[in-house]
Homo-oligomer: A and B are copies of this chain.
Amino acid sequence: MTETADFLPVPEEPSGWLSTADLGRVRRQVPILYVDAVPVRVDPNGRVTEIGLLLRANPGGAIWRALVSGRVHYGEQIRDALLRHLEKDLGPMALPRIPASPQPFTVAEYFPTPGVTAYHDPRQHAVSLAYVVPIDGDCQPQQSALDLAWITPEEATSEQVQLDMLGGQGMLLRQALAHVGRLV
């Protein structure tokens, strides 16, 4: 549940954005609303054939795989937040298919204390609406992402990939596969 924006200079007066100090305080006061998107490739009949995972790294050299994930801003609709984060991480030519319905396939509750739920985010209590999003276009990983890898449902549930995902996103990915009938 890494949000690139947290590590970037913040524009002067952006709509819906907070200063680092304000965001830090709010994060100790209320649950923070997130969206998680599982990017997928589908065939013409809608069957999921591949899942797109970001490869991320931090300055310390740690590397992990991640879903597209990010905060919903004040005044922003969920579908607009989904589109913003997908374009931010996959590039402007990704052509994501935002779902017509706001009903998420699940709600992931990330707690700062590990073990409360299957999801964990040391920075905050985040509640994330999770959606499967078919991607039609060409992806160009942006900003802090090193790469975007398209893998099969079988690979996605492999021990290696599951170990490469943090904060419960491996389980969220398996829940997405269960939802689309591709859990292995």
Chain A residues with CB under 8 Å of chain B are 18, 22, 26, 28-33, 40, 42, 44-48, 71-80, 82-83, 97-107, 109, 111, 116-118, 125, 127, 129, 132, 134, 171, 174-175, 178-181, 183
Contacts and interface: CB of A to CB of B under 8 A. Distances in A.
A83 B175 CA distance: 25
Copies in the complex: 4
Nearest to A42: B100
Q: Which 3 A-B pairs have the closest CB atoms?
A: A46-B98, A178-B178, A175-B178
A interface secondary structure, majority: loop
Contacts of A26: 26, 29-30
A89 to B, nearest CB: 17
Given A30-B74, A106-B102, A127-B72, A47 B79 contact: yes
